Amino acid sequence: MAKNIFQDILKGKIVFVGIGNTLRSDDGLGPAIIERLKNHTAAVCIDAGSAPENHSGKIIKEKPDTVILIDAAHLGLETGQYRILKNEEIANSGFTTHNISPKLFIEYLQSRIKADIYLLAIQPENISFGEELSEPVKKAVGEVSRLIIEATKEKPKTYHQDTKAQKH
């Protein structure tokens, strides 16, 4: 079985931020993933819509160790393909459809918290008006959601019984 791509980056307290407009087809993939993650992970899940900057206070207040922004981005890939980007990769990641660039938003967060911040960028097919995700993006949403849930499952707690002999 292939290694889960999220396993090595999801550390400590985790905040997922879904970015996108659910009325613009594939642009709604961020909120769609957040909806799937709710109640299936101990991580904080925020549907930021198309204005993630309006949720920066909540993200900062959580004092996370890891922040994953989830957004549609034009990466020049096949529809539904995705990449996890960090730092300089984000500046070269193509454009999104939102008021603030992911790079500026991440720089702002980094000035306020000491978290590792990533952009999970998924290649959209269509961002025109409509409420349905394209089939390749629906598939990617399902796959990414499953991988995140798998990677954020709480480790089973092990209880050690005191093995010292009891006096009778």
pLDDT in tens, 5-43: 999 999 999 999 999 999 999 999 999 999 999 999 999
Mean pLDDT of the chain: 87
Is the pLDDT confidence value at 131 over 60? yes
pLDDT at 153: 83
Quote the percentage of the chain above a pLDDT of 90: 72
For range 87-92, the mean pLDDT: 69
Long-range CB pairs of 94-101 (<8 Å, 24+ gap) are 94/121, 96/19, 96/71, 96/72, 97/20, 97/21, 97/24, 97/27, 97/50, 97/72, 97/127, 98/19, 98/20, 98/50, 98/51, 98/52, 98/71, 99/50, 99/51, 99/53, 100/51, 100/52, 100/53
Instruction: List domains and CATH numbers for the chain.
Output: 14-152 (3.40.50.1450)
**DSSP single-letter state for residue 38:** T
Dist. CA 29–CA 48, nearest whole Å: 12
User: Which pLDDT band, with edges at 50, 70 and 90, does 159 fall under?
Assistant: very low
pLDDT band (50, 70, 90) for residue 168: very low
What pLDDT does 67 receive?
96
Mean per-residue pLDDT, 132-149 = 97
| pTM, entire model | 0.86
Rounded to an integer, the average pLDDT of 80-96 is 76
Question: Is residue 85's pLDDT more than 70?
Answer: yes
The pLDDT of residue 45 is above 90: yes
pLDDT over 70 at 141, yes or no: yes
Stretch 95-111: mean pLDDT, rounded?
77
